[in-house]
């Protein structure tokens, strides 16, 4: 923590993540203060006489979109979707990746071979094709996005954990645990896992921005969050028709997506450096 505290980039990333989280948590309060619901259309005040979005002003602080909805309010509610999808999908992926990686790395042999090939298949699978097929059956939604992201992200974590477990299973503390009769499950989760927690934490931190970006991509393509629910990817898709006459409609969700993913990446890099350096 001391080394991380001295990393200015990581501290700036923590502050940015905190601000985005605050924006998401305060979304209902922002809607109450402005008096604008996330899906409420203001045809009279939110659109120009020619039907175009209005720029930032005293009533709409970040302007409006093509339907006269408040961009600030939708941006805040979109932050909830992005953070929820990113954190939940990353958590599920890390949990599954840790279990599979520990099992393959510690048990070795046939188990490692089968689980290794499974991870290769998952990493090589065309994710978007699967997402399209799944959406055609179940319809778009947050649950579908989380399922797709988690289902194809755990393998990268599993490979990292497998490599660490392979190195750890020959260490003295594992040999000592075996000598007192500890079972494989206890050794994997009580002895090995705490000693490989550093790479797992870094992988989890770096997986969050990937999940957020992938959720935005799915929503942009119409495979993620279904309209009119606000999401950053959906807002970017809607802004394509107006970017020449309403720059704010495209700029603010794009900046939010860029800064959030950049902040998580910088935090992951900071954690990696802090865990790798000697005290």
Per-residue confidence (pLDDT) for residue 61, from 0 to 100: 93
| 8-state DSSP, 12 | H
Q: How many domains does the chain have?
A: 1
Per-residue confidence (pLDDT) for residue 277, from 0 to 100: 56
Per-residue confidence (pLDDT) for residue 176, from 0 to 100: 87
Q: How far apart are CA 174 and CA 172, in angstroms?
A: 5
DSSP secondary structure of 71-135: HHHHHHHHHHHHHHHHHHHHHHHHHHHHHHHHHHHHH-HHHHHHHHHHHHHHHHS-HHHHHHHHH
- The β-bridge partners of 47 are 53
Per-residue confidence (pLDDT) for residue 33, from 0 to 100: 93
Q: How many CB atoms lie within 10 A of CB 278?
A: 4
Closest to 225 measured CA to CA, from 210, 208, 243, 212: 212
Per-residue pLDDT tens over the stretch 96-124: 999 999 998 888 888 889 998 999 888 88
Q: Are 174 and 187 in contact (CB under 8 A)?
A: yes
Phi, psi angles (nearest 5°) of residue 35: 75, 20
Interhelix angle 197-220/232-239, rounded to 10 degrees, is: 30
The tokens of 120 are what? 């290769």
Per-residue confidence (pLDDT) for residue 263, from 0 to 100: 93
Q: How far apart are CA 86 and CA 24, in angstroms?
A: 13
Q: For every one of its 279 residues, what pLDDT tens digit does the chain have, with 9 covering 90 and above? A: 788 888 888 899 999 999 999 999 999 999 999 999 999 999 889 999 988 999 999 999 999 999 999 999 999 999 999 899 889 999 999 999 999 999 988 888 888 899 989 998 888 888 778 888 887 777 778 888 888 888 888 998 899 898 888 888 878 888 888 888 888 888 888 888 888 888 888 888 888 998 899 889 888 988 888 888 899 999 999 998 888 889 999 999 999 999 999 999 999 888 888 877 554
CB-based contacts of 53: which residues, under 8 Å, 6+ apart?
A: 46, 47, 63, 64, 65, 66, 68, 242, 245, 246, 248, 249
| Domain span at 98 | 2-276
Q: Assign residue 85 the CATH number of its domain.
A: 1.10.3720.10
CB-based contacts of 158: which residues, under 8 Å, 6+ apart?
A: 96, 97, 98, 100, 101, 104, 115, 119
| pTM of the predicted model as reported, rounded to 2 decimal places | 0.86
- The β-bridge partners of 53 are 47
């Amino acid at each position: 923590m001391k080394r991380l505290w001295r990393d200015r980039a990581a501290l700036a990333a923590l502050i940015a993540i905190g601000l985005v989280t605050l924006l998401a948590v305060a979304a209902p309060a922002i809607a109450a203060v402005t008096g604008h619901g996330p899906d409420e259309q203001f045809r009279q005040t939110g659109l120009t006489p020619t039907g175009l979005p209005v720029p930032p002003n005293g009533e709409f602080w970040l302007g409006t979109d093509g339907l006269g909805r408040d961009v600030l309010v939708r941006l805040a509610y979109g932050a909830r979707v992005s953070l929820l999808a990113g954190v939940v999908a990353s958590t599920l992926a890390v949990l599954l990746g840790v279990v599979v990686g520990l099992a393959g790395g510690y048990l070795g042999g046939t188990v490692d071979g089968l689980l290794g090939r499974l991870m290769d298949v998952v990493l090589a699978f065309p994710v978007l094709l699967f997402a399209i097929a799944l959406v055609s059956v179940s319809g778009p939604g947050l649950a579908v996005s989380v399922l797709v992201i988690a289902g194809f992200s755990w393998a990268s974590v599993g490979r990292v954990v497998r490599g660490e477990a392979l190195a750890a299973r020959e260490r003295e503390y594992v040999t000592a645990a075996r000598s007192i009769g500890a079972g494989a499950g206890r050794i994997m989760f009580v002895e090995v896992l705490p000693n490989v927690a550093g790479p797992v934490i870094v992988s989890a931190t770096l997986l969050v921005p990937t999940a957020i970006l992938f959720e935005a991509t799915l929503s942009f393509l119409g495979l993620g969050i279904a309209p009119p629910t606000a999401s950053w990817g959906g807002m970017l898709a809607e802004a394509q028709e107006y970017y020449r006459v309403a720059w704010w409609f495209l700029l603010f969700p794009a900046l939010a997506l860029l800064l959030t993913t950049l902040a998580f990446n910088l935090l992951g890099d900071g954690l990696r450096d802090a865990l790798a350096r000697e005290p």
